[in-house]
Every structure is written in C-alpha cells, then in structure tokens.
Amino acid sequence: MKLNDIEKKVIEGKGTEMPFSGEYCHNTEKGTYVCRRCGAPLYRSNDKFDAGCGWPSFDNEIPNAVKRVPDADGHRTEITCAACEAHLGHVFIGEMFTAKNTRHCVNSLSMDFVPEGSDTSDKGHKYETAIFAGGCFWGVEYYFAKVPGVLSTEAGYIGGNIDNPSYEDVCTGRTGHVEAVRIVFAPDIVSYETLARLFFEIHDPEQVNRQGPDMGEQYRSEIFYTNETQHEIADSLICKLAATGYDVATRLTPASRFWLAEDYHQNYYAQNGKTPYCHRYTRRFF
C-alpha cells in the first residue's frame, strides 16, 4: 500500500506517533489488526487491552507475525512486521498489565483494522474469509497455514447452540459445534477454489461425524461459506467428486458466529514441532 509522509515517518523511519492520537488507541471492535504497509495480519482484537499509555496495546501476537529486534541502545526491543519489516513499536515484558505479562506497544499508523466478518478493510487491502471443518482442527490448520496467500489461520468452534464454548463443552458432542479453522486469505494470490480443493484433499470427505480415530459430531466434515460465490464453488467441487465415485458427506452451511479456541490449540503442530496424525494429503481432483 502507498504510504503518506506521516506513515513513512513511523513505518520506515521508525518514528512514534503522539500518545492518544491514534485511531485505534481506544478501538474495541472485534476483528484483526494488519500491517498498514503489506496487509499481513498482526494482532487479534481479543489480545488488545487498555494499558493507559496512549498507544494500542496487545499482550499477544498472531504466531510468527511479529519480529523482535533489540534497539541499538540496548534498552528497548523494537517490534516489526515479520512479512515486510515495517516498524510497529516496541515490546515490554514484566509490567504485569495482564496474565501474559507482555505489552506490544504499537503505533496506530503502523496498522489497519479489518472488522470481524469483513471481506475488505477500508484502507485498500483486499481479503476474504473461509471456514473449513474436517476433523481435528490441528491437522486442518497445519495444511492451510502453509499455503501462499493465506494470511492467517485460527482454530475455533462454529455451528453450535451456546455462546463462547470451551473445548470441554464441544467435546461432549451436545453443543452442536464443530472444530473448524477460519482462514483469512488474499484472493489475488490464492483463490477460494484452490483452498476448497485442498480441503477435500487433506481429509476424508466420505466419513460421517469422524475423521480417522477422532469420533463425534464435532469432527464432521463441513464448509461454512461466507458468501454465495463460495457456496457455489464448494457445491461444484462436491458434484465433481460425486461424478468420480465419491460419496461426499461434507455439509454446506452459511457461516455463523466463530468462536476462537483456547490458545494452546492455535497452530498446535507448528508450536510443538509435530505433524498431523489424522490428516494427510490425497489427490482427488485430476
């Protein structure tokens, strides 16, 4: 994105905006904060808190989104966008503002904000959201996180009948939720059809209410489409699979409220240096 002179001073010149002057200092909307220069997702709104310092503060970043660089004076640690190295601000440890004991102090000018459920920001970066459920969300996220053009992946729960379910709630099989992965992607880099094809090839779409050793309604195969175009693409792919002999059990459902799973579920395999036990790639489209 083209930067104006004030944005360049902060993002490229490593400057700092005046305290309490930024548009996101007091923003409490749900959504994702992204890099103003390259559009890469940086922070989730549920990790934002009011530190009273005059700048947006976060106690956690999206995994692998932020790079830490010690300042030349040795007193502070700069934070930059891991994708394009745009200056964001500084990170501080040990202040005890939250249980995570970390404060990312970020310039509003370094970020744009994408409201929850929005396909585009109001700053010129275009995104879409896709939601797929195909068994344990660990394995589904593992594959989608590797796709060029996928900006972020989040494990969570969708399709149920209670608010803010926990993993334990969902595992009872009584809430109606399914383990799913929400993906933010750049459609000019990777198409929804490419992602949907991959979805059908990293899990067994013929299995009903299970995936490999994981059994229960929460492991059902389901696509939650965010617009009618996604619905049509997914339905077309199911028809193609059916024409080649597959008995596809995948449901197609309009997207509803997506609830983030607990922190330890996010990017589970990447964080723990493991590989999926119940998902593997099998080519189904020729």
Catalytic option among 136, 171, 239, 278:
136
Contact present, 258 and 180 (Cβ < 8 Å) = yes
Give the largest CA-CA distance in the chain.
65
Question: Regarding beta strands 111-115 and 259-260, do their DSSP bridges make them parallel or antiparallel, or are they unpaired?
Answer: unpaired
Catalytic option among 25, 35, 81, 105:
105
DSSP secondary-structure letter at 231?
H
Is residue 81 part of the annotated active site? The answer reads no
Strand partners, 180: 156
Contact present, 135 and 214 (Cβ < 8 Å) = yes
Q: Which two tokens stand for residue 199?
A: 């979805």
Distances (CA, A) of 208 to 148, 171, 214: 30, 16, 11
Is residue 105 part of the annotated active site? The answer reads yes
- Looking at residue 70, its amino acid is P
Q: Which two tokens stand for residue 280?
A: 């593997």
Contact present, 207 and 221 (Cβ < 8 Å) = yes
Q: So which residues are the catalytic ones? A: 105, 136
